[in-house]
Amino acid sequence: MDSDNSQKALFESVHFGKKSLNNRFVMAPMTRNRSPEGVPGDDVARYYRSRAEGGVGLIITEGTYVNHPVANGYPNVPAFHGEAALAGWKKVVDEVHAAGGLIIPQIWHCGKERMPGNWPNPELPNAGPMDIEVDGVLVTKAMDQQDIDAAVQAFAQAAADAERLGFDGVEIHGAHGYLIDQFLWEGTNQRTDGYGGSIENRTRFAVELVSAIRAAVSADFPVVFRFSQWKLGDYDARLAHNPDELARVLKPLADAGVDYFHASTRRMWEPEFEGYPYNLATWTKQVTGKPVITVGSVGLDKEFRVGHFTREENPDAKSKVDLRQLEQGVQAGLYDLVAVGRAILADPQWTNKVRDNRLDEITHFDTRALDELVS
C-alpha cells in the first residue's frame, strides 16, 4: 500500500457549493434515537463535533423529520422544524464549524414505514402512495394532492431553514423504502394517477420536491439526493434493472436541481448491473453527469445489515481499510466522495488515523458504538 498515493487522492480538497471539503470522506447518516421529543441536545452537538474533530470532510446528519403530521417514524429521532429543535440544530452547526468541519442535515419522511401510533400524532394513520389495511384497519392512507403538496412544502421549508441556520447544504432522504422511495419503486406504488404507473410518473413526486427545494435555497447551496435500490425489508429490490432505467429515474432529478447523488449500497465494491463493472455510484455519475457519493460497508470486514442496528444480528465487525481501492476509484473519476458509517461511529478519529496511516490504531465496531452517543 502506498500511503502517499492514497493521501494524494483521498485527502485532496474538493469544492462543495461555495465552500471546500478538506478531503473526500463523508460521515454517512445514521439514526441514533437520542433526541427526546425531537430536540437534539448538547450531547448531540458534542457527538457531531467529535466527528468533525476526527477529520471527516463532510458530515451528513442522521435522518431529521420534516414538518408533516406523520413524518416521524420512530421514537426519539430529531425533528427539523419547531423553535426548540431548530435551536438545537443551530448548536450542532456552530460546534461542527468551530471544529473546522462542514455539515448538512438529512431531511426525511418515513411514509408507510412509520411505527403506527408514533409521536406526535399517534391517532393518525401513516401517509404513503397507497392505502394499506391490516386486519381491516387503515394503517396507511394514500396521499391525495393536498397531502402531496403539503409534504413537498414541508421539505422545501426544511431546506430553507437549513440554509438559514448555517448548514453547508442539505440531503434529501430518498432511499431505503421511506416516503420518497415508496413513490419511486413500483413495489410500493401501484397508483393509477399521474404519480404512478411509468417510471416517469413514479418519479414525479421526487421531482416536484427537488424543484421546490431548489427554489427555496440559494443557487450555490448544495442539494444532495440519497437513493437506494435496496429497501429495509428487501435487499434484492430494484428501482432500475439496467442503466437505461436508472437514467429514467435520476436524470429528471438532476434536471430539477440535484447537485450530488448519494448512491446507498450495502457493498460499494460490487457491480450494480450484471455484465457491467460499475457500482451504483459510478453508474449514477455516468447517467446524470453529477458528482456522486459512494457508500457501503467502507472500513469494515462485515457488510451492512439492518439487523445490526436493531440488535437482531451480531453487529461486531473488524476494521478493514482498503485505501488502494478507494484511491483508485477517486483518481479514475468513478466517484467523488466516499461515505463511511459504522467505522466512524466506532472511532471518531477514523479519518485522521487513515490520513496519518495509523490503521492499526483504529477501533473496531461493536455494540458500544451503538450504545454510546459521544465517544
Which residues are designated catalytic?
178
- CATH architecture observed for domain 3-371: Alpha-Beta Barrel (3.20)
Please tell me the distance from the alpha carbon of residue 91 to that of residue 79, in angstroms, as a whole number. 14
pLDDT of residue 309: 82
Report the distance separating Cα 108 and Cα 253, nearest Å. Answer: 17
**Which of these ranges, 151-155, 214-218, 274-278, has the smallest mean pLDDT?**
274-278
Considering Cα of 145, then 253, then 30, then 243, what sign does the dihedral take?
positive
Q: Is the pLDDT of residue 308 over 90?
A: no
| Mean pLDDT value of segment 92-119 | 97
Global pTM value: 0.96
Beta strands per DSSP E along the chain = 14-16, 19-21, 25-27, 58-65, 103-108, 126-128, 132-134, 137-142, 170-176, 223-231, 260-264, 292-295, 299-300, 319-320, 337-340
pLDDT at residue 375 is higher than 80: no
* Residue 312 confidence (pLDDT): 87
Rounded-to-integer distance, Cα 88 and Cα 79, Å: 10
Residue 7 has pLDDT above 80, yes or no: no
CA 59, CA 350: separation in Å to the nearest integer?
13
Identify the pLDDT of residue 2: 42
Give the pLDDT confidence score for residue 116 in this predicted structure.
86
Cα distance between residue 369 and residue 112, in whole Å: 29
Tens of pLDDT, residue by residue over 243-265, are 999 999 999 999 999 999 999 99
Question: Picking from 7-11, 35-39, 367-371, which range would have the lowest pLDDT averaged per residue?
Answer: 7-11
